[in-house]
Structure 1
Amino acid sequence: MENNIKKIAIFRALQLGDILCAMPAIKAIREFYPQAEIIFIGLAHTKPLIERFKCTDQFVAFPGYPGLPEQEFDPIGFETFVNQMREKEIDLLFQLQGNGAVVYEFLNILGAKRVVGFCQTIAQQNEDLMCYPEKLHEIDRHLALLNHLKIAYSNDEIFFSTLEQDEADFKALKSGLKPKEYICIHPGSRGKWRQWPVAYFAAIADFCKERGFEVVITGDENETDIAHELAVKMKYRPLILTGKTSLGAISHIIENAFALIANCTGVSHIAAALKTPSIIISMDGEPYRWGPKNLALHFTIDWNLNPDYKFVLRSVIEMINMNQSGLALEKPEEKERSVKKQELLH
């Protein structure tokens, strides 16, 4: 890629986990073009997330487009958006949304001199477009695109930028939580089909209480109902922080937790980035794509292949035992062998 680029736009109008998985690539773009102005085009509510990384210079809210489900299409806002982007005279636009089935219809009218990113088929692939690789982790998928575009990168680790304000937001909750003495349980996710049964989460939460941990139920304001349903099913009383935390507060809570137990959703990527041990239950059949990559700290369970509550419980027990003793989790293939030998059922 040429280095006389003055203005870059990056399009990824998706949610928390999607953005975190793309950040290693976005950081690499920033490092490869240190003098360029970089504009991020995303969903309006992700602006604070993007700004905390300091990898971009400007945020433009995406008004939606037909065929993209993340946000309702605003025709008037879209016209304003197109004019706004054309005025910026973008030199290089990165399409990081997906395989390009819909987005090039409007990206190509934003006036960028060059549009690069993913395409659907090998026949469409050229020096600017790479055929969307289906069987890669989401982090590696975007780094593969950078390789295709000959953009160097130095690190493939997911990361999360913490701010001083995060601790202040946490202290404002007056939760009384002490570092490493609590386990976060996150029962929600954006789609109900991606949610592990609440009764199982409740049983796991009760086990954590019996092991001496405070249990903290986390989630956003849209997940209040499932949080209270979980609490009702528990024998012990948890601390419910669902709907009460800012992004900064929840990141501080996860960073200082003993562990996170959750569906495969945005907070699982925060835990991965902050190196908090986790058990992640994948309900979408794509653990290879979204599960944490550091298998020494995190264990992802593909519920579609192994719908066994006792296996999850044994994994939680092993995680607690390993991290209390300062050891790492076993690799998945080792775990499969070892759990068959153990009778650690609650």
Structure 2
Amino acid sequence: MVNSEPGPAVGPIEAKWPDVRRIAVLRGGGLGDLLFAVPAMAALRGAYPDAEIVLLGTELHRELFAGRPSPVTEVRPLPPYENVHEPAGQPFDEAEQRAWFDALKPVDLAVQLHGGGRNSNPFLRKLEPRYLVGARTPDAAEADRWLPFRYYQHEVLRALEVVGLAGARPVELEPSIVVTDADRAAAAPVLDGLPEPLVVVHPGAGDPRRRWPAERFAEIAAKLAASGRGVVVIGAPDERELVERVAGMAGPPVRPLTSLSMSALVGVLDRCSAFAGNDSGPRHLAAAVGAPTVSVYWMGNVVNAGPLGRSRHRVLISWMSNCPVCGVDCTREDLPRCAHDDSFVATVPVDDVLGELEELLAGR
């Protein structure tokens, strides 16, 4: 039954289920993947205010939510599980998996925000939930209420449409993360001595095809630092080589930061007056804490993961539709990924990115 009450919605808002005390939300993946699910979890909190909401995610997700207000009651890191969570070097252990599922029961409502359901719907069924909602591809097992999975849909809006099937109306359209005093204190030492305004540059991205060339990030960092702005280049420990290369090409006083805790990262992003980067987890976190952003996107990723507004979030789009090496059509979701990692976004000019940054720094 569709809820006929007026209010915002992405798709139908079905009737809420009664007596829902524990909700399990499946969303693995990286930092950006988690943030796309935050508005949906906020909607669930609004619809089921007394329920426990358990996020089935990763240690990274637990680190982000630790010590800060959020819609989530608890984060349970996923066990290694084929085609759902496959951390490098960790074997699948059926006994560990059984113990993990048993420890989570009972679950009243399972919410599948982890793709098209081929593997994630059966995974959640092992929790024996009373109700299951999610998206599904044609070859995936059905949920109690489901919507068709289509690749080209914004991740945040898909998640909101899924929770609408459980009676949850949107309360926010873009992710938001609360910044704490502890975050600001953690950031203070690593930013000591840098002038204001601060610009944060992140040259990385999980998919190398989404990375704007390192030398272009170095060029904008150098020009911003030369004009008296504080500039830091951030990245995870596994991005150290890239970060140090960009900072090295830019030259002093550009500062590389690759050993930040999650709390310090949130604090650094909260301090910045503008963020420059690719379509990446840190870019989405920057926006979620309220920082203005300038981002380089491949056109397909704008559909799935682009910011909705443009007053504080500027997007420079590469319209390349074919692999620059082999020419395969990279817009076709039904074709296998080619073997090449060459950038799809190298066509975006430096002057365009720098121009948008200058506008944001000037308050325009």
* TM superposition score normalised by structure 2: 0.81
**Counterpart Cα distance in 2 of 1:190 and 1:124:** 29
Asked whether 1:135 is paired with 2:174, we answer no
Aligned partner of 1:316 among 337, 350, 354: 354
Percent identity between the two aligned chains = 25
Instruction: Classify 1:20/1:53 alpha carbon distance in 2 versus 1 (closer, same or farther; 3 Å).
Output: farther
**Counterpart Cα distance in 1 of 2:76 and 2:274:** 35
Aligned partner of 1:173 among 186, 190, 206: 190
**Counterpart Cα distance in 1 of 2:243 and 2:158:** 33
Post-superposition Cα deviations, 1:206-234, rounded to whole Å, max 9, x if no partner, equal: 12123221221111111111111112322
Partner in structure 2 of residue 231 of structure 1: 247
Partner in structure 2 of residue 102 of structure 1: 119
Asked whether 1:277 is paired with 2:292, we answer yes
Instruction: Classify 1:3/1:41 alpha carbon distance in 2 versus 1 (closer, same or farther; 3 Å).
Output: same
**Equivalent residue letter for 2:232:** V
**Counterpart Cα distance in 2 of 1:161 and 1:223:** 26
Partner in structure 2 of residue 211 of structure 1: 227
Aligned partner of 1:194 among 207, 210, 214: 210
Asked whether 1:152 is paired with 2:191, we answer no
Instruction: Classify 1:35/1:74 alpha carbon distance in 2 versus 1 (closer, same or farther; 3 Å).
Output: farther
**Counterpart Cα distance in 2 of 1:106 and 1:47:** 20
1:286 alignment partner, SS class: helix
Does the Cα contact within 8 Å between 1:5 and 1:91 map onto a contact in 2?
Answer: yes
1:136 alignment partner, SS class: coil
1:185 alignment partner, SS class: strand
**Counterpart Cα distance in 1 of 2:141 and 2:98:** 25
Partner in structure 2 of residue 85 of structure 1: 101
**Counterpart Cα distance in 2 of 1:45 and 1:276:** 21
**Equivalent residue letter for 2:347:** D
Instruction: Classify 1:137/1:119 alpha carbon distance in 2 versus 1 (closer, same or farther; 3 Å).
Output: same
Alignment of 1:274-313 (within 5 A): 274-283=289-298, 285-305=300-320, 307-310=346-349, 312-313=350-351
Post-superposition Cα deviations, 1:12-49, rounded to whole Å, max 9, x if no partner, equal: 11211111111011011112111112221111232121
**Equivalent residue letter for 2:208:** K
Does the Cα contact within 8 Å between 1:85 and 1:111 map onto a contact in 2?
Answer: no
**Counterpart Cα distance in 1 of 2:51 and 2:231:** 46
**Equivalent residue letter for 1:26:** M
Does the Cα contact within 8 Å between 1:263 and 1:283 map onto a contact in 2?
Answer: no
* TM superposition score normalised by structure 1: 0.85
State the shift of 1:175 in Å.
2.4
Does the Cα contact within 8 Å between 2:235 and 2:243 map onto a contact in 1?
Answer: yes
Instruction: Classify 1:318/1:113 alpha carbon distance in 2 versus 1 (closer, same or farther; 3 Å).
Output: closer
Does the Cα contact within 8 Å between 2:198 and 2:273 map onto a contact in 1?
Answer: yes
Asked whether 1:50 is paired with 2:65, we answer yes
State the shift of 1:123 in Å.
9.6
Per chain length, whose mean CA-contact separation is higher, i.e. which structure has more relative contact order (CA < 8 Å, sep 6+)? 2
**Equivalent residue letter for 1:113:** R
**Counterpart Cα distance in 2 of 1:38 and 1:69:** 20
Does the Cα contact within 8 Å between 1:3 and 1:33 map onto a contact in 2?
Answer: no
Alignment of 1:51-66 (within 5 A): 51=66, 52-66=68-82
Q: Which runs of 5+ in 1 are unaligned?
A: 328-346
Q: Which runs of 5+ in 2 are unaligned?
A: 1-15, 321-344
**Counterpart Cα distance in 2 of 1:8 and 1:101:** 21
State the shift of 1:81 in Å.
3.6
**Counterpart Cα distance in 2 of 1:39 and 1:299:** 34
